[in-house]
Every structure is written in C-alpha cells, then in structure tokens.
Structure 1
Amino acid sequence: MNALGILILALLVTRSLISSIADYLNLKALRHQLPDQFTGWYDPAQYARSQAYLRANTHLGWGVEIFDLAVLLLFWFGGGFAWLDGWVSGLVLSPVPSGLIYIGVLVLLKGLLTLPFGLYATFGIEARFGFNKTTWRIYLADKLKALLLGIVIGGPLLAAVLFFFNHAGDRAWCYAWGFTVGVMLLMQYIAPTWIMPLFNRFKPLPDGPLRDAITAYANSIGFALDNIFVMDGSKRSTKANAFFSGFGRYRRIVLFDTLVDKHTVEELVAVLAHEMGHFKRHHIVKMLLIGTAQAGLMFFVLSRFISYPGLFAAFYVPEVSVHAGLVFFGLLYAPMDMVLSIAVNGLSRRHEFEADRFAMQTAREGGRALAAALKKLTVDNLSNLQPHPFYVFLNYSHPPVLQRIEALAGL
C-alpha cells in the first residue's frame, strides 16, 4: 500500500471512530430525570421507552458502521476492486457502459449486503416500539421503485459524468457540475408531481376549519398558496411530519395524516408558519446555492484526482479508468464531505431558529402553539430530549427540541 492508501485508510477509520465516539457520548448523556419543560407530556414509562429507542438505534448504527468498514476493507485488501475492473474490461465495452456496469455492480452489492440491517430497523426496532405500519409488500415495492428510479434518474446522470470525464478534458468538471446542478433543479419540479406519488397518495386537504385557517394565514403574510395535500404516511409509520416541496406553481404543502390526526388547528398552522418562514427568509434558496457550491468543489477536486496513478495503486488497480477513479475518489472525499456537512448543519440549525421566530411573530399564538406542537412531535416520535452537544455538532440539522422551546419562550 502506498502513502495515499494509508492516508485514505486512516481517514476512513478516523471518521468511523469520531462517529462512534459521538454515539457513545450521546448515550452517556441520557438522564433519568425528565426535563421540566416536558412535565405532564411524558410519563415515566414512555420517557424510559424513548431512551430505550435511542439505545436500540445506536447499537444498530454501530453494527452497520463496523460491518460497512469490515466489508470495504475485505474487498479492498482482497483485490476486489482490481478483480471487478478486470472483469468489466473483459467485456470490451466503451468507457461509459463499462463505468455504468462497474459502479452499478458495487451499488447493487452494497444494497444487498446492507438489506438485512434495513429489514431489522423496520420490522425489528420500529415494530417493537410501535411505529412500523409497513407491510412486507409495501417494503419490497418501495425497494423496487427506488431501484427503478435509481436506474432511470441516476443512470443518465452517472453516464453524463462518465462521458464528460472521458471526453471533455480539463473542462470536464465544469460540464459535470453544470449538468448535475441542472438535474438538481429539475428534481425540484418533477419530484412533487411525479416521483413522490409513486410511494404515497396525496389528497387535497378538504374544505373546513383547517384549510380556512392555513389559507387565511398564508394570505396574511403574502404567501401564494394553492396546493395543500394530506399524505398517507400512516401506511408506513405512526410518526408525523409536514414539509414543503417544489417551486413556483409546483410548490405544495404536505401534511402527514398522522400529523393532522394528533394536532389542533392552531398547532398545525404554527408548524406550517415555521415552514413558510424558511421560504420568507430565503433559506431554501441559500441551501440550494450552498449545495451547488459543494457540488462544484467536489467536481473540481475530483478532476485533480480522477486520473492520478497513485490513487489507483492505493487500491491495487493497475489500469487508470474514470469509473474506478470515481469510486476511489468517493472514499477519499468522504471525510472531507463530513467536515462540510458539519458546517452546513450548523447553518441549518440557525435557519431553524429563524423559522421558529418567524412563526411566533406572524401566526396567532405562534410561539405557544409551535412549542406545543414540538412537544407532541417529540413525545410521539420518542425523540431524544437531551442529546450530547458533540453529537448535535456532528449530526443535527435541527436544534435540540429543548433549545427550540427555550428560544420560543424567550422571544
């Protein structure tokens, strides 16, 4: 193994260790005493269940982390990358089809190897704690649909990247970046109307007090709104949520049916006021621009490594190729991406506070109603009330719920 291989190995192991340490600290931060803000919301037995839920998911996460790293190292040092590259080369295809097969085989193998963990998470942990409503038929159908979407959408995107880096020379990274950003923007339009309905049913919110209240609030802040839908989230889980998707006339508000069933009209309006706050404070555009910049940085760095012989020698592959270079660069770039995600998550947490403030200032009883909604969601989803600060720093895109409630109380 050369020096670059040693560096990649050290970075991958370090990333796994940091993630595991954060998980360990998060478990050690658990306290038996219920925070005062949740007195009357959590009973002792349910609070204990929330902590057991966290432990179960953390232990599963450790298992996945160890398994993934072990399989990668076995494949790496067992010459798997070189063997697969030799097999693909023997097919005597042009660079783009060869690359699609090479990367497709790796993705398929990873999906099959990690499938048991996904099954256990859904039909083991989620079922044990009363969340899972997914049947085997729905689960398998979801996997098949996701696979087909990966082929239909991911295949052409990967083919374009392979083509550019095989044929476009020094400007390949610019073309790949532009094409990828174009796909990202296109997905903002086609996902709400074409992709999400493949997995769930979306019914217009019927006329009544809730629709009237949402429409009146949207009008009061000058937010054009026509599409309000209820999604049948209950067919997979008892957990509740709400989200926005799309842009322009393709923009829609989506409420999980589980959310509508468990919250008052004022609480639902406050939740949507928070989501509208993201639009009014331009958070969506800012995060899209940051994602665009991240993609550009990744493709630029990729252009400096994709044909570097030392990178291929690190993985015992004798021949330089674009498809193998993409895979090896992904392993090299992963720790850097982790650092970038920490910065993006920090900005996202600040955005969440700003959206909470917007809801409090613009919705009727926004602060009280949003705090009540956050408490209900936390209890119903068995969320961790007191995560360790290092775990939050590393993983959270939203502030811990206690910080959000305290901020609402102090506004």
Structure 2
Amino acid sequence: MTLSANNFEHLFLGALALFVVLECVLTMLQTHAADRAARHLPEPFVGRLSEAAHRKAADYTGETAQAALLLTFLGAAFALLMTFGHGLTFLTALAMGLSSNMLVVQWTLLALLLGAAALLEFPFGWFARFRVAERYGYMRRERGPWLARTARETLAGWLVALPLVAVLMALLEATGEYWWVAGWVLWVLYLVWRWGFSTAKGLFWGRRAKPVDDPALVALARDYLAALGIEMTDLCIMTRPRSWDHSHLVLAGFGRRRRVVLFAHAAARLSRGELLALLAHDVGHIRHGHAFLRVVLFSLVGALLFWAAGQFGDSPEFYAGFGLADVPLDRPGTHAGFMIACAIVAFPVLFYPLRPVVNLFSRLMQYDADRFAAQVARPDDLVRALVRLHRDYATTLAPSRLYSLFHYRRPHAGMRIEAILTRAKAEGRPLDEARFPYGFSVLLAELDRPVLERSALARALADGREEREETESRRTVDEALDDRRYAVGLEVGNDPAGAEGNLKNDTAAALRTTKDEAVPDFLLRTPPKTPSVPAEKADGEGNEDDETPKTETTKEGDGARAKNNADTALSQPGAKDS
C-alpha cells in the first residue's frame, strides 16, 4: 500500500493532536494528585517533612507540570512551523543557496534546524527551569549567571554537534541505499559502548576512589556478596560524579567479579543493614540481566525508527506530507539528511505513544531489583535506605502514576516503598524479618551500626590530599560535618529540577538531620582533634557551581542558631536538592 501526501499529513496532525491533548490531561492529573497528596504525609516520610513544606511541594509540583506543558505547546508549535509553516522548506532553500554540494546542503540544513530549535527553546526553558524554582525559593543561583551558563552550554552543545553530524552524514552517504541499516548499527554500537563503559568506569576511578579502611565493613560486604554469587575485589569510597546522579553505589566490572564503589553521601547516611539492601538491589540488576535487556529494548526501538526512516527516505509523498517541498531527490545520494531533519521535527510526535512503553520497561526493572533485594535482606532496611537517600523534597511525594509513567524512567521513591510494603503485606512477612542468603550470617546489632564513623569517612576521602589543600579545608570540614541544622531534609544550594544535587554538598549535607530525626550516636561524639579534609574536596576537583550561602559561626552563637533552625525546620523548607 502506497501512502499519499495527504495520508502523511493527516497522520501527523492526528498524532500532534493526541500529543497535545494527552499532555494536557496528564498535567491536570499530576496537579490534582499533588493537591490530594498534600493533605497527609506518606507514613515513611513522617518526621522528615512538615505539613507546610509538603503543601508547598504540592503547589510547586503543579506549577512545574504546567511549565512543562508550556514546553509541550512550544514543541507542537515548532513542529507545525517547520512542517506546514514551510520552515523546513525555507531552511533547505537557504542551505542550497550556500552550496551546491548535496552533502554540505544536508549538513547545513541540520545545523540550522538544531540552532533554530535551541534559540526558540532558550527563553521558555528559562521560565520552566529557573523562574518557577526562583519564585518558590528553590533556586539559589542568580539570574545572570544562570542565563550565562545555560547559554554557554547550549552553544557548546550545538558546536559539538556540528562535526558529529558531519561525520554521521559522511558515513551514511558512503553506505548507499542501506544507510538506515548503517545508522541502526551505529546506534547499537553506541548502546553497547555505553553499557560497557558504565560497567567498567568504576574500575578506573583509582585516583578518586579510596579504599575503605574498615576490615569489619569490608568483610561484611564481601561475605554478603559472596553469598549472592558475587566476588568483591575491592570496596572503595568516593564523592559522587556529576554523571551518576541517580546512583548511590556501583558494582563495577564484568561477570561475577565486581569492585564496589560506595559514594560518600550514602556512606554518611546509611546503616550497614541498609547498605546490604542497596548492594542486594544492584545484584538484582546484575543477576536478572537488566543492563542487557535495556540494550535490547533500545536497539529494537532504534530499529523501528531507522526502518521507518529508510522506507520513506526516497518518497516524495513523505516529504510533501510534512511540508518539505522541492527536495532534490533526483540528485545522486542517500538524502539521509533530509530524512533526519524530518525525523527531528516529526518523530517525537509520531512515536509519542512509545514513550510510556519504554518507561514502563525501565520502571519494571527497578521494581524487580527491589523485589530481589527484599527477598535477600530486611525489607525495612531497604525502605529506610530509600527514605534516607531521597532528596527531592521540593516536589510531591505522591505524583500521578500516569504522569510519572509518561515522563520518568525511574519510579518515584514513594512508589517503590509502597510496592515493597504491599508485597511484604501480601506475603505476611514482618518488615524486620531477615532472610539472608544461605551461607551468610551476621549479628543483627551489627546491621544497625553506621556504615562508617565520621572520622573514618573523612580519613578515607582525605587520603592522598596535599598538605596545602588539607590546611585550607580544615575549618570547612569541621563546620560541615558538625552542623546538623538542616530543615526538612532539603540541601541548600541544589536545584529542584532533578532528584540529586550538588556534589560539593553531598557528603556534608548527608550528615545533617532534622528536628524529628534521631541523631546517630557517632554524630554526637566530640570531633577528633586530628584535622579532617572535607568530603566535597576529597576528589581533587572543586565545584564551581556551588551556590550554598556561607555561614560564619561562633562558639557563642552556634548553639542558639542551631536551636532556632531546628525549631523552624518543620515550617520553612530549604532549597531543594534527577
């Protein structure tokens, strides 16, 4: 069956209408879900967030959803402008006026299209990602620096894309009529490389990762992983890299031999039982082959997209249906650039229904890993770990399930906790019941100890630092590690757009607490006289993005301020913390 230009036009308009209507409905569901959830706190989070802060989070969630809807309208308008507004035709004519070489014409078309999209999105992105957060007090950056940095990043991304697009165009041109097969192969190779790189990256963090100097903890982790079929080669600690914003620890390596890299914020917050639960979660991903399944899924999605591009890449009706007139199909070449331009504009709309399917697959893998962890560890340890490591208190703790399915690949911490509790209740299993794997035994009292004492954590992160850097940061680490004046679990200096925050504040912030949260014994001990190095400086790389306001403290005023902040913790949230 041959599709006419009218068929393509009607298909695209129908998909565009579905896209806009569904996003409007999802936004209403998200706003109403946040409003309903604001009436009461989820039980696992009681004591970590005040009712007023929870109400504020609900309001903020509604406004961010509406700001995201504004970007949806912008995307739909841009798609209409580029297709039926003859924007692609205009850009093609402009590119052909600059060169007669078809490869250069296609490269210029893509460069102009990407540049136009970036310029159009910039002011609306500022409102959605900065202005709303600023109104609620969750944005600590000044407007000027934020705009300057975003502009630099946008320009840098566009400049980096230009040579990559040129190389891609040359490769596709060299493969002839099967360019779409070559494009899919490149996509699969990228997925495999990304999988292998992320798995092995922790093996090469030698300069930044420091061995844990606690034989009991190392033995506990090694024995537990051995009972789960994993051979631990090393246990290290480091501050979390920016690119691993969803991770708390990494089992790096291939096969059964793994290096455990524990990030400092998790080491500072968790007990040893909670650490075992997180280890079990990651082992669940490994044993169930989730990384490989993810590669297969995205390979199949890529195959569908490239197949569609290859089928219609030489069809005049296809281009006419999307408003791209006068495509020089009579000239020799693959014309892949014209197809890619149409794909950039139209495919996000045409394949919008695939988004919840892909997200559902990724979310099911998280639930599956949680189920495995609850079977081989104590469920309440896993629940407490999720609560303690959750940092996105600026948004609602109970988002709409449909909205979350369409917009997030990872389920919210509250959804994961609910699934764990529901399964334990269905099985009639007490939450504190330990079902450790065969061959592993441990005193339950040992599981309630903190992962690392404060001094041991500081020593591990300070190992290898130069004396000058240690001297400069002594005062900072003493203030950061001893200060327990956080409000409602929110870290100052972090943006609300993601679930994770500034790396520079990770370790120090992890040791802060709220008024209603029990303070671990090791935090109440007298700080050691031996100077420590701050966790945020331990990796040898400063964070220029830290906007945390510096607070000068004195011995006389520190206690009064701490008491005052603790009293107001349940009514005034701090800045949000993927």
TM-score interval, smaller chain: 0.7 to 0.9
| Distance apart, 1:41 and its partner CA | 4.1
The change in CA–CA distance for 1:185 and 1:229 in structure 2 (over 3 A counts) is farther
d(CA) in 2 for partners of 1:46, 1:290: 39
| Distance apart, 1:213 and its partner CA | 4.8
CA radius of gyration, larger in:
2
d(CA) in 2 for partners of 1:129, 1:222: 48
| Distance apart, 1:295 and its partner CA | 1.2
CA contact (8 A) 2:82 2:345 kept: no
Structure number having the greater helix percentage: 1
Say which is worse superposed, 297-306 or 44-53, in terms of deviation. 44-53
Deviation per CA, 1:205-250: give whole Å up to 9, x if none.
Answer: 64347666544433332324447453356x99xx875264875399
Measured on the aligned residues, the alpha-carbon RMSD in Å equals 3.9
Secondary structure of 1:338's aligned partner: coil
Say which is worse superposed, 110-119 or 347-356, in terms of deviation. 110-119
**Alignment partner of 1:369 is 2:387:** no
| 1:20-59 alignment, distance < 5 Å | 20-30=24-34, 31=36, 32-59=39-66
| Distance apart, 1:132 and its partner CA | 5.1
Number of aligned positions between the proteins: 402
The change in CA–CA distance for 1:398 and 1:95 in structure 2 (over 3 A counts) is same
Paired AA for residue 400 in structure 2? H
**Alignment partner of 1:353 is 2:367:** yes
In structure 2, the partner of 1:318 is 326
The change in CA–CA distance for 1:315 and 1:29 in structure 2 (over 3 A counts) is same
Paired AA for residue 418 in structure 2? Q
d(CA) in 2 for partners of 1:331, 1:191: 30
| Distance apart, 1:296 and its partner CA | 1.5
CA contact (8 A) 2:79 2:346 kept: no
CA contact (8 A) 1:371 1:408 kept: no
| Distance apart, 1:60 and its partner CA | 1.3
In structure 2, the partner of 1:14 is 18
d(CA) in 2 for partners of 1:120, 1:256: 33
d(CA) in 1 for partners of 2:262, 2:148: 25
d(CA) in 2 for partners of 1:117, 1:251: 44
| 1:154-303 alignment, distance < 5 Å | 158-159=165-166, 161-163=168-170, 165-190=172-197, 203-204=209-210, 206-208=212-214, 213-225=220-232, 226=234, 228-232=236-240, 241-242=247-248, 244=250, 248=254, 257-303=264-310
Secondary structure of 1:397's aligned partner: coil
| Distance apart, 1:303 and its partner CA | 0.3
| Distance apart, 1:292 and its partner CA | 1.2
CA contact (8 A) 1:385 1:401 kept: no
| 1:130-149 alignment, distance < 5 Å | 144=152, 148=156
Paired AA for residue 385 in structure 2? A
Percent same amino acid at aligned positions? 22
Secondary structure of 2:229's aligned partner: coil
Paired AA for residue 222 in structure 1? G
**Which of residues 390, 393, 396 is equivalent to 2:402?**
390
Say which is worse superposed, 6-15 or 155-164, in terms of deviation. 155-164
In structure 1, the partner of 2:354 is 340
| Distance apart, 1:59 and its partner CA | 1.8
The change in CA–CA distance for 1:215 and 1:143 in structure 2 (over 3 A counts) is farther
Deviation per CA, 1:244-271: give whole Å up to 9, x if none.
Answer: 4875399876655444443334324322
Deviation per CA, 1:256-305: give whole Å up to 9, x if none.
Answer: 54444433343243223212311111111111111112111211111011
**Which of residues 418, 438, 446 is equivalent to 1:403?**
418
Question: Under a length normalisation based on structure 2, what TM-score does the superposition of the two structures give?
Answer: 0.60
The change in CA–CA distance for 1:348 and 1:240 in structure 2 (over 3 A counts) is closer
d(CA) in 1 for partners of 2:148, 2:264: 23
In structure 1, the partner of 2:569 is none
CA contact (8 A) 2:180 2:306 kept: yes
Paired AA for residue 357 in structure 1? R
Say which is worse superposed, 252-261 or 303-312, in terms of deviation. 252-261
d(CA) in 2 for partners of 1:5, 1:78: 13
The change in CA–CA distance for 1:100 and 1:261 in structure 2 (over 3 A counts) is farther
The change in CA–CA distance for 1:255 and 1:8 in structure 2 (over 3 A counts) is farther
Deviation per CA, 1:100-140: give whole Å up to 9, x if none.
Answer: 33212222222233233444455444456666566876986
d(CA) in 2 for partners of 1:122, 1:251: 38
The change in CA–CA distance for 1:72 and 1:347 in structure 2 (over 3 A counts) is closer
| Distance apart, 1:309 and its partner CA | 0.8
| Distance apart, 1:18 and its partner CA | 0.6
CA contact (8 A) 2:23 2:69 kept: no
Paired AA for residue 323 in structure 1? G
In structure 1, the partner of 2:538 is none
